[in-house]
Structure 1
Amino acid sequence: MSSAPRPPLVLTVAGSDSGGGAGIQADLKTMLALGVHGMSVLTAVTAQNSLGVHGAWELPEEAVRAQYRAVVDDIGVQAVKTGMLSSAALVETVAELLAGTDAPAVVDPVGVSKHGDPLLAASALDSVRTTLLPVATVATPNLDEVTQLTGLVVEDETGMRRAADAILAYGPRWALIKGGHLPGDAAEVVDLLTDGSEEHWLYAPRYDNRHTHGTGCTLASAVASHLAKGLTVPEAVREAKAYVTGALAAGFALGGGIGPVDHGWAFRG
């Protein structure tokens, strides 16, 4: 009996969210929902729930490197997504691994959790700028992360364009600036995707739903999943945006705080 066709292969390099809404857990749920085979390199363990991050423990560099090599050298990979890399040492280790991997890399420069808890040491910011962003196919900062990395405070779409230019100056091929945190009560959420020569403005409805935990992880993983399927960056981002919009609309209450987006929304029709 012949085996079934193998799905595209995607690797996430990120931290664990014990509450299941973000991090490795969100990444793997997204990959399953989008029809790719998800694999993981764990960078940190967090004690986390709907109310916040109550503790975080970073894995040693050698553990991260060993996980990555075990997967890539035997199984292979068609796209990689990075998330929580809490220290300069981990950022530089992962950047080196990505540089030696022939696959697109989606870098989500995670700085703080949905609840405002720091997930990246201030001392690691320069390593993100100088080693990680230069090896990214797509960098996906939100507006808070733009401020952390560039010092720019973005308040409108013109500011998003300036932010994209500043992020691109660090070396990624594409910048996806996520505008969900723009001030005001606009009926739509806007993101900007650009490589410096072409721009794609992506609009989606803004839902009155506070349960948005895991949005950034989910979007970056969805982009990586579609890149692994062979889509171009603009195509992959548009498809990922559509998936995340559905997940946001279906976000549900969990515990006493902010619940997660629903990664399985498309199956619940």
Structure 2
Amino acid sequence: MNLLSIGGSDPSSGAGIQSDIKAFYSLNVHGLTVITAITGQNTSTFGMVEAVSQKILKNQLESILTDFKIEGIKIGMVFNSQIIKVIFNELKKLKIPIVVDPVIKSTTGGLLIEKSAIKDFQKYIIPLATIITPNKFEAEILSETKINSEKSFKKIAKTIQKMGSKNVVITGVKRKNNQILDFVLENNKSYSISGEFISRENHGSGCNYSAAILYALAKNKNIQESVKFAKEFTYKSIKNAKKVGKGIPVTYIQEKDEINSELLKAITEFVEIKNIYKNIPECQTNFVHSKENPKTINDIVGISGRIVKTGKEVTVAGNLTYGGSKHVATALLAISRKFPEIRSAINL
């Protein structure tokens, strides 16, 4: 799978395209990048911004889009109106998931978009979005409305949706009982998704969130599943944040779990087999892979849902997790006791 990040360069690798590359790598996908601006920043301070020329921006986009099959695009820092218009013209005809992360201000205080470009951002970038992921501050800027009550979440989300984004997620709208809520507005419904709140300033969580949503959408998850996946992914990155410089800790995505990665690769190849839907049984399919000498099903990675067929299409419904499968994992556990070299199983 190829995912493209369009955004600014952060030399500290805390945010921007460097952060997205780390996120994509951890999710076992190939990350491609198009740079819109070079920033001078670290974990303590924000220095200069220099936008790339329209000519090199267009050349980057054309180079990537003509060579690779892109399954999804994330748009982050765009900085000025010239950049915004080039991106719009190059992407407007694409029919793939596009996640817009409307970065306006860095954690260290730097402005990531010119004030004069916000109107063009609303006009050209927001309509490209399958989903837009502003935090509370960014949502207020884009809607020109203050969030001061629970009712205002929906009002502001609807205002942004009317600008053209199919779906809107406003992150961090409310904290209650050690939980933090994200407000989600889809085409015909709205709801909140909560998660544990970590009281820790960090650099990169917003980038991780939008990158994870893009990954989930490209994997054919629905909006609610994608937001839940991104929230869990981001929570782990904040929990594992490391103080690598003198200032704010940088979110840290744990090293890839090889068992998980091997199974993900195998599942990806499996669902792409021609006419594989004919082999999916009525009870649907699970695919599992274990550590060496597994003791329980918690040593075996499986799909928390199933590989399901819908007509002639095959979709992975659920996430990979240890203990995610019960029946197929139990069968593998029994077999591995006699044949320890067997570490994978699938039901067909």
Structure 2-normalised TM-score? 0.71
Unaligned runs of 5+ in 2: 259-348
Q: Which residue of 2 aligns with 1:125?
A: 118
Unaligned runs of 5+ in 1: 1-7
CA contact (8 A) 1:12 1:27 kept: yes
Would you say 1:174 and 2:164 are equivalent positions? no
CA contact (8 A) 1:105 1:135 kept: yes
**In 2, Cα distance between equivalents of 1:150 and 1:32:** 34
1:216 pairs, out of 184, 206, 226, with 206
Alpha-carbon shift at residue 228 of structure 1 (Å): 1.6
CA contact (8 A) 1:109 1:141 kept: yes
Structure 1-normalised TM-score? 0.91
Alpha-carbon shift at residue 157 of structure 1 (Å): 3.0
CA contact (8 A) 1:254 1:260 kept: yes
Q: Which residue of 2 aligns with 1:191?
A: 182
Q: Which residue of 2 aligns with 1:226?
A: 216
Would you say 1:143 and 2:136 are equivalent positions? yes
Would you say 1:207 and 2:198 are equivalent positions? yes
**In 2, Cα distance between equivalents of 1:173 and 1:179:** 20
Q: Which residue of 1 aligns with 2:226?
A: 236
CA contact (8 A) 1:98 1:105 kept: no
Return the letter of the residue paired with 1:175. V
**In 2, Cα distance between equivalents of 1:67 and 1:179:** 34
Q: Which residue of 2 aligns with 1:154?
A: 147
Cα deviations across residues 209-234 of structure 1 (Å, max 9, x unaligned)? Answer: 22x21111111111111112222222
Cα deviations across residues 31-65 of structure 1 (Å, max 9, x unaligned)? Answer: 11112111000111111100121111110112111
After the TM superposition, which of the residue ranges 226-235 and 46-55 deviates more from structure 2?
226-235
The structure having more radius of gyration, on CA atoms, is: 2
Q: Which residue of 2 aligns with 1:100?
A: 93
Relative contact order: is structure 1 or structure 2 higher (C-alpha 8 Å, sep ≥ 6)? 1
1:20 pairs, out of 13, 26, 35, with 13
**In 1, Cα distance between equivalents of 2:152 and 2:172:** 10
CA contact (8 A) 1:50 1:256 kept: yes
CA contact (8 A) 2:240 2:254 kept: no
**Pair 1:185–1:238, CA change in 2 (3 A):** closer
After the TM superposition, which of the residue ranges 247-256 and 153-162 deviates more from structure 2?
153-162
